[in-house]
């Protein structure tokens, strides 16, 4: 199974969780893969690691240029780096809004801007953005995070329209709650981690959290020439939350 033989990919936030699972899967399927992360020190094996904060435009441009040079081009960009925020609009101040939007929204814009000249030279160019079910679900206590992912969904559609004639496809995945170090940190901070985990599991019709490798599988499909006729879509990987919502109410 070598769907990505001869192709190259860059995964932001690729040192942990969904990004790491995606980088590993693309490499296992034959791609040459680079990871861009705040701290890629744990990244090993065939993956190339580049250190950059997606809020730093110069660092992003340097890292993307170095990755494209090291890989010998760039066919796939996975915009996955992201951070969370909890609370209602009453709870987050301006500094928190700026900080989260700077990573989740403008960070995606920076890496895309830096990668576009390389993607334009590819015959199989694809961008996959890690969005979230939060973009459309109306989750409580997630106002800022939901707004950031709503912007990722809108950007996915706008970018798909802007670059379709250049042969660059743009799609996103909308995960539910995924078993990653991020969710591990959330659970560890909860008053009753076991009860919190059970509540998150119960929220998804499948009754379990999504595996990072299951999100990676969806990203790999959208990044691969197998989905060559698909652009401007959001693929739910949420244990049925979106598709089965009407049956839950």
φ, ψ of residue 209 to 5 degrees: the values are -75, 155
Residue of 8, 22, 80, 231 interacting with ligand NAD (CB under 6 A) = 80
Euclidean distance between CA atoms 150 and 133, whole angstroms? 9
Instruction: Return the residues of window 5-24 that contact ligand NAD according to CB under 6 A.
Output: 13, 15-19
Decide: is 38 part of the binding site for ligand NAD (CB under 6 A): yes
Decide: is 239 part of the binding site for ligand NAD (CB under 6 A): no
Query: Which residue, 124 or 171, is less far from ligand NAD as judged by CB?
Result: 171
Euclidean distance between CA atoms 210 and 220, whole angstroms? 16
One character per residue 182-221, x = contact with ligand NAD (rule: CB under 6 A): xx--------------------------------------
DSSP 103: I
Euclidean distance between CA atoms 49 and 118, whole angstroms? 18
Six token digits for residue 83: 């951070």
Query: Which residue, 103 or 160, is less far from ligand NAD as judged by CB?
Result: 103
Known catalytic residue: 50? no
Euclidean distance between CA atoms 4 and 225, whole angstroms? 8
Decide: is 175 part of the binding site for ligand NAD (CB under 6 A): yes
Query: Which residue, 18 or 114, is less far from ligand NAD as judged by CB?
Result: 18
Interface size with ligand NAD, residues (CB under 6 A): 27
Query: Which residue, 181 or 228, is less far from ligand NAD as judged by CB?
Result: 181
Decide: is 170 part of the binding site for ligand NAD (CB under 6 A): no
Decide: is 63 part of the binding site for ligand NAD (CB under 6 A): no
Six token digits for residue 104: 């989740």
Decide: is 4 part of the binding site for ligand NAD (CB under 6 A): no
Q: Locate the DSSP E strands across the chain.
A: 8-12, 32-37, 48-51, 76-79, 126-130, 169-175, 178-179, 210-211, 234-237
**Cβ neighbourhood burial of 189 (10 Å; 0-12, 13-18, 19+):** exposed
Q: Catalytic residue, from 76, 92, 103, 145: name it.
A: 145
Decide: is 53 part of the binding site for ligand NAD (CB under 6 A): yes
Residue of 146, 156, 180, 224 interacting with ligand NAD (CB under 6 A) = 180
CA dihedral sign of residues 139, 141, 145, 147 = positive
Decide: is 109 part of the binding site for ligand NAD (CB under 6 A): no
Decide: is 130 part of the binding site for ligand NAD (CB under 6 A): yes
User: CA 91, 94, 13: angle at the middle one, nearest 5?
Assistant: 90
Six token digits for residue 119: 């993607």
What is the contact surface with ligand NAD in residues (CB under 6 A)?
13, 15-19, 37-39, 53-55, 80-83, 103, 107, 130, 132, 175, 177-178, 180-183
The catalytic residue positions are 145
């Amino acid at each position: 199974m070598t769907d990505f033989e001869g192709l190259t990919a860059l995964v932001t936030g690729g040192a942990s969780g969904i990004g790491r699972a995606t980088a590993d899967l693309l490499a296992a399927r034959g791609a040459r893969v680079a990871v861009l992360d705040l701290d890629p020190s744990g990244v090993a094996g065939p993956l190339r690691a580049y250190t950059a904060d997606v809020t730093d435009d110069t660092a992003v441009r340097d890292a993307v240029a170095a990755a494209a040079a090291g890989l010998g081009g760039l066919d796939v960009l996975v915009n996955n780096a992201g951070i969370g925020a909890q609370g209602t609009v009453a709870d987050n101040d301006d500094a928190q809004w700026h900080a989260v939007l700077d990573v989740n929204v403008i960070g995606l814009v920076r890496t895309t801007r830096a990668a576009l000249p390389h993607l334009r030279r590819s015959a199989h160019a694809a961008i996959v953005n890690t969005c979230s079910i939060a973009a459309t679900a109306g989750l409580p206590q997630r106002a800022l995070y939901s707004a950031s992912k709503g912007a990722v969904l809108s950007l996915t559609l706008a970018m798909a329209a802007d670059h379709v004639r250049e042969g660059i496809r743009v799609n996103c995945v909308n995960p539910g709650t995924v078993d990653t170090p991020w969710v591990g940190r959330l659970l560890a901070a909860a008053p009753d981690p076991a009860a919190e985990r059970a509540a998150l599991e119960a929220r998804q019709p499948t009754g379990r959290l999504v595996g990072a490798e299951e999100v990676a599988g969806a990203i790999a499909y959208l990044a691969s020439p197998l989905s060559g006729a698909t652009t401007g879509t959001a693929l739910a990987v949420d244990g049925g939350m979106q598709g089965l919502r009407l049956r839950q109410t």
